[in-house]
A and B are shown apart, each in its own frame.
Chain A
Amino acid sequence: MGQATCSASFLKKHKMKPLKKISQIALIASSLLLIIAFFVPIWRIDLWAPQYPEGLSMSIWLSKLSGQVDIINGLNHYIGMSHIKEEMFPEFKILPYAVAVIIALGVLTGLSKNRKMLIGFLTILILSGVVAMYDFWSWGYEYGHNLDDSAAIKVPGMAYQPPLIGYKELLNFGAYSIPDIGGWLFVLLGIVAISTLIFEIKTNK
């Protein structure tokens, strides 16, 4: 963000040139690549415990969940956690549209050849990333802290919030939370957008 505003003020002082062909192609291609995110998971949570040497895994898609959700729910009832169900994610109704808009904006930016538009697109992209991660964190907080008082196993002071990203130990389970293919495509688009902007600024001094 800081870099984006800085670049914007920098641009005011200079005459802006249209985006180069290579930048256009990179932007449009990486935006279109995001279409894949409709068909693959965007995030995954992997669990491991002594009794589950093969591991348990849950995948989050743009509009659904998959993986061993029922088994995870079955295990979590001992500690009074809610069941994970698709109904608890109103995000699933919004996410596909949000991603479609991002793809459209990315393609439009590429077509427009306009650097201002690129700066705007990058800003939106970063903002939506931040919002999405905050939303995910707040779900995890609620899921990990809202425990049934009559749970069979109660560990004083213990909450079971899954890690936002990375690894965390929760009782006998080790939990990993990492982007899946769809998530990595987002990261890729972000990197491409930033690199394109830097490239444009550097080559058009």
Chain B
Amino acid sequence: MSSYSVTEPSLRQKWVAGILVVGYALITILPLIWIIATGFKTPSDAIAYPPKTFFTPTVEGYVNVFTTRTRLSQEQLQALGEPTTWYDKLVRKDGLVISGPSRFAERFTNSVIIGFGSTVLCIVLGTVAAYAFSRFKVPLKDDLLFFILSTRMMPPIAVAIPIFLMFRSLGLSDTHAGMILLYTAVNLSLSVWLLKGFIDEIPVEYEEAALIDGYTRFQAFYKVVLPQAATGIASTAIFCLIFAWNEYAFAVLLTSGNAQTAPPFIPTIIGVSGQDWPAVAAGATIFLVPVMVFTILLRKHLLRGITFGAVRK
């Protein structure tokens, strides 16, 4: 019994630790809760002093993030007649009319296209490369692996200058294809290193058995290793997706209109009079909540993902 008590913390220790950690956690998620809450405030509630904890929720911010609005005088508003839709009614209250959709939906779609496109490419390239590094004698293997990792050390701005020039001469600037290619390259180091770790853990005996049964090497890879690596591939994919989703430096430098993703766009959301914080918060919420959900799903593999497989628990 005494040896048990050495490694098992006492009840008092647990209570103290629990209270401190919970306290930290509550403080640390407060900004995130504030983003979500601000999305449901009216602009005047958002900038009230003291900051409002309790308020009447409204979806005005969400309407504003998807639309552009213009201010009309009372006579002009009356001339327009009754608002036809609930969102028309909502903005009419502030003396505004909806003049068209904003670019948010477009930017968000770009984020989805570029995020998923680069993730798929990254996983395909990463899986086969990781398999080769894991199972074959590749000449200069360690050097190649280190080279792949070292591409992560470069500040994005430093490579952005020639990529900017290169994309311009190839006609890739501000295109989905260009950004997909770029994000694939950025995430490839992560994908190769993580997947190599996952494939290393699959016993070689399975493939040996398959090879003896007359499978070719490619069939063994395809039919035996891939299904075994499915969880690893899925979590690697989520990591690639999150990193591409969050990327800002390349997006702000290399895209302007056509292929711009949401991160450079959200901070530029402004209302009719100055920064429209509920709209910014609504846009941010739509953008951030999927990542929060993925993080919760990923929690078992989180450590591995963020350390490129260096720490496996």
Q: Do these two chains interact? A: no
